[in-house]
């Protein structure tokens, strides 16, 4: 099987975690490690289990010889068959033998991919004495896993593991995975569940503390019908615009069907906590545990992530806006015109019905203004021309495509009233010739089954030069009359 590749951001999150954990995959029949956390390397050190090589022998390097075969078999079942992984063994850690409790299970980051995540806990220094509690835990666990006689360790395994490991492993899941508001362990068939809720209440020391201060969800700590209780809770905590969508996906039959098809379910929505909107992601997976298949449901606080993404998108939009607009005039620039032209050409090739016209314009007198009064005065003239164009062609994109060149691709209301728009521009030109102001030569051409936008532009451009000559002639005539007068 091809090795799964984490995205750089996801890999960094795992590898930078101080929680000892590892992610495995069955590659060519061997348990290959895809990622190791900083906590794993700190726990086992450079001489610890070299699981990244992916060979069974290397997986057992550093593990006590009496435990190596048992751990190798459990690891194979984990990665090949998706069985739950729950083992206690002896391993070299920080220069001595320590009792290690490793627990994990399968995860599916995307359809068709099954990985295994294992968390490791150091239960203390191991000493080969019957009275040593860590050794007793190791021996009872080994006996239970090997199927020893009645009373050989099942009760001890259940009590010690639950007391010493269950809360720890949940805290490690939280610390590795992010800011969870609440986690549920659910029997997918009966709906009975146990809740680990966010709280900073010091009177509840065993509580699964996740994100104190984010908000207190009011679902009970345990219950007999997760699906009904979840909908009752959501009726007042889920944003009204998201409720129907979330309720539909969380119905028992829909949720279990999706879990069967894909292995995991993610639902993003908004929660109303303490009167404020918080973005959350509900994630559900199923795991095979000794007592049967269980569904793990976590509500993950993604508020900061969403706000960062929104800020990024806003900044990206602003950057794109700046990249497509002329800084001086505020009109769209040559790049934006090229993109718009390409879009229209695609529609022309598809023989779509189009109604648009090109109005090509050129600002008269800009060079003379720059040469006599300076570029600052020329800039003001350009901004004045852009203002005129924007006020006249209110329903169409206007572009500055050169130093003194502009084009409007008339559409919609502007297209329907094109003659009136041009008449308004001509009227302003006469006024500006007489009293001062930007004079803008123009040429107009409607699309009429042409092979490209360029053909429409070229007709309008030729007509613009005719108008430009007429305006210059009119300007010279007005100047002669003023001089003679």
pLDDT at 345: 93
pLDDT at 479: 61
Among 240-249, 320-329, 427-436, 439-448, where is mean pLDDT lowest?
Answer: 320-329
Picking from 383, 246, 250, 397, the residue whose alpha carbon sits closest to that of residue 334 is: 397
Q: Of 162-176, 209-223, 264-278, which one has max mean pLDDT? A: 264-278
- Contact, 378 vs 369, CB < 8 A? yes
Helix crossing, 453-484 with 418-435: angle to 10°? 30
pLDDT at 282: 86
**pLDDT over 70 for what percent of the chain?**
73
Q: Is the pLDDT of residue 146 over 80?
A: no
Tally of structural domains, the chain: 3
127 and 11 in a common domain: yes
Picking from 323, 459, 332, 471, the residue whose alpha carbon sits closest to that of residue 408 is: 332
Tokens, residue 357 = 């016209």
Please state, in angstroms and rounded to a whole number, the distance separating the CA atoms of residues 7 and 12. Answer: 9
Indicate the pLDDT class of residue 289, thresholds 50, 70 and 90: low
User: For the residues 96-107, what does the mean pLDDT come to?
Assistant: 81
Indicate the pLDDT class of residue 83, thresholds 50, 70 and 90: confident
Give me the CATH number covering residue 459: 3.30.70.270
281 and 346 in a common domain: no
**How many CB atoms sit inside 10 A of residue 55's CB?**
14
State the average pLDDT for the chain.
76
Last residue of a domain, one of 168, 197, 212: 168
78 and 33 in a common domain: yes
Q: Is the pLDDT of residue 223 over 90?
A: no
Indicate the pLDDT class of residue 480, thresholds 50, 70 and 90: low
- In this structure, the chain runs to a length of 485
User: For the residues 259-285, what does the mean pLDDT come to?
Assistant: 82
Indicate the pLDDT class of residue 301, thresholds 50, 70 and 90: confident
**pLDDT over 90 for what percent of the chain?**
25
Picking from 71, 89, 86, the residue whose alpha carbon sits closest to that of residue 31 is: 71
Q: Is residue 315 part of a domain?
A: no
197 and 301 in a common domain: yes
Q: Is the pLDDT of residue 355 over 70?
A: yes
Give me the CATH number covering residue 28: 3.30.450.20
Range of the domain at 18: 1-168
Q: Is the pLDDT of residue 82 over 50?
A: yes
Cα separation values, 417 from 221, 362, 392, 410, 413, Å: 68, 21, 11, 10, 6
Last residue of a domain, one of 266, 282, 310: 310
Provide CB contacts within 8 A for 104, sequence distance 6+. Answer: 78, 84, 85, 116, 117, 118, 119
pLDDT at 401: 94
Starting at the edge strand found earlier in the chain, the sheet holding 115-125 runs 30-36, 21-27, 115-125, 96-107, 85-93
Q: Is residue 247 part of a domain?
A: yes
228 and 80 in a common domain: no
pTM of the model: 0.40
263 and 162 in a common domain: no
């Amino acid at each position: 099987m091809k090795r799964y590749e984490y995205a750089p951001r996801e890999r960094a999150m795992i590898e930078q975690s101080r929680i000892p954990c590892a992610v495995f995959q069955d590659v060519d029949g061997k348990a290959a490690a895809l990622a190791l956390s900083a906590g794993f390397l700190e726990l086992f050190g450079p001489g610890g289990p070299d699981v990244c090589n992916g060979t069974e022998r290397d997986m057992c390097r550093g593990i006590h010889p009496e435990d190596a075969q048992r751990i190798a078999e459990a690891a194979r079942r984990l990665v090949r068959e998706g069985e739950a992984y729950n083992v206690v063994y002896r391993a070299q850690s920080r220069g001595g033998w320590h009792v290690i409790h490793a627990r994990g299970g399968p995860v599916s980051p995307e359809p068709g991919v099954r990985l295994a995540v294992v968390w490791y806990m150091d239960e203390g220094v191991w000493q080969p004495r019957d009275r040593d509690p860590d050794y007793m835990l190791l021996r009872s666990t080994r006996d239970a896993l090997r199927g020893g006689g009645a009373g050989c360790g099942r009760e001890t395994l259940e009590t010690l593991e639950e007391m010493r490991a269950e809360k720890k492993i949940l805290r490690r899941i939280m610390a590795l995975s992010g800011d969870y508001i609440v986690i549920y362990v659910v029997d997918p068939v009966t709906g009975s569940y146990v809740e680990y809720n966010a709280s900073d209440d010091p009177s509840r020391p065993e509580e699964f503390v996740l994100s104190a201060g984010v908000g207190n969800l009011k679902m009970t700590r345990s219950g007999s019908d997760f699906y009904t209780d979840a909908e009752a809770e959501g009726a007042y905590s889920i944003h009204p615009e998201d409720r129907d969508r979330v309720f539909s996906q969380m119905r028992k039959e829909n949720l279990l069907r999706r879990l069967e098809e894909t292995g995991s379910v993610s639902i993003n929505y908004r929660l109303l906590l303490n009167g404020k909107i918080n973005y959350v992601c509900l994630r559900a997976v199923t795991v095979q545990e000794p007592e049967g298949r269980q569904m793990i449901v976590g509500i993950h606080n993604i508020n900061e992530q969403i706000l960062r993404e929104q800020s990024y998108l806003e900044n990206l939009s602003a950057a794109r806006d700046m990249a497509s607009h002329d800084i001086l005039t505020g009109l769209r620039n040559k790049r934006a015109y090229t993109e718009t032209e390409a879009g229209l050409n695609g529609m022309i090739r598809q023989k779509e019905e189009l109604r648009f016209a090109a109005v090509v314009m050129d600002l008269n007198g800009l060079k003379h203004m720059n040469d006599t009064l300076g570029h600052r005065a020329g800039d003001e003239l350009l901004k004045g021309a852009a203002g005129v164009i924007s006020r006249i062609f209110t329903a169409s994109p206007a572009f500055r495509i050169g130093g003194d060149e502009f084009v409007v691709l008339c559409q919609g209301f502007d297209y329907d009233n094109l003659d009136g728009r041009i008449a308004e521009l001509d009227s302003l030109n006469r006024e500006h010739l007489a009293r001062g102001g930007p004079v803008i030569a123009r040429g107009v051409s409607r699309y009429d089954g042409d092979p490209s936008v360029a053909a429409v532009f070229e007709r309008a451009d030729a007509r613009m030069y005719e108008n430009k000559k007429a305006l210059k002639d009119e300007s010279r005539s007005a100047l002669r009359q003023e001089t003679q007068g």
